[in-house]
Amino acid sequence: MPFLSFVLLCAEIALLIKFAQAVGGGPVFLEILLTGGLGILLLRMAGRSVFNPARLLELFMRLPTRGLIHSLGLLFFGGLLLLIPGLLSDAVGLMLVVRFFLQGGRAPRNRPDDPDTVDIDFHVHEDSPRE
């Protein structure tokens, strides 16, 4: 695992150098600053969404659903990858963030065939006024 991380970081640096040779140092520096700022913003947004009262209750009262963990994971890891300088990590981070927002910024709905889904029928009866 450390060797794979080393190879990926070397590829990031090599790609940044080639990109800087093609477009210049200014745009590369601007890209690093913009994606780093966006990464910090997304990490803050992921932290705030965890502390949303409804989600906080879900986290404390019972085990969180897979959808909640999945959606927050997309935002958190997308922001983390955007924070790391490099074009490869930025591309993967943007894909994760776009996928999060295409889901509507929330956990995906449970499917009826999902084993965690409880399907019940209920009727609401209104009380008749007593005279």
Q: What is the pLDDT of residue 110?
A: 45
Contact 19, 90 (CB under 8 A): no
Q: What is the pLDDT of residue 115?
A: 63
Higher pLDDT pick, 97 / 113:
97
* Entry pTM: 0.64
Q: At what angle do helices 25-50 and 53-61 cross, to 10 degrees?
A: 60
Name the H helices within 2-102. 2-23, 25-50, 53-61, 66-83, 87-102
- The pLDDT tens digits for 6-27 are 998 899 999 999 999 999 999 9
- The pLDDT tens digits for 102-120 are 876 654 444 555 566 666 7
For residue 119, which of 110, 128, 127 has the smallest C-alpha distance?
110
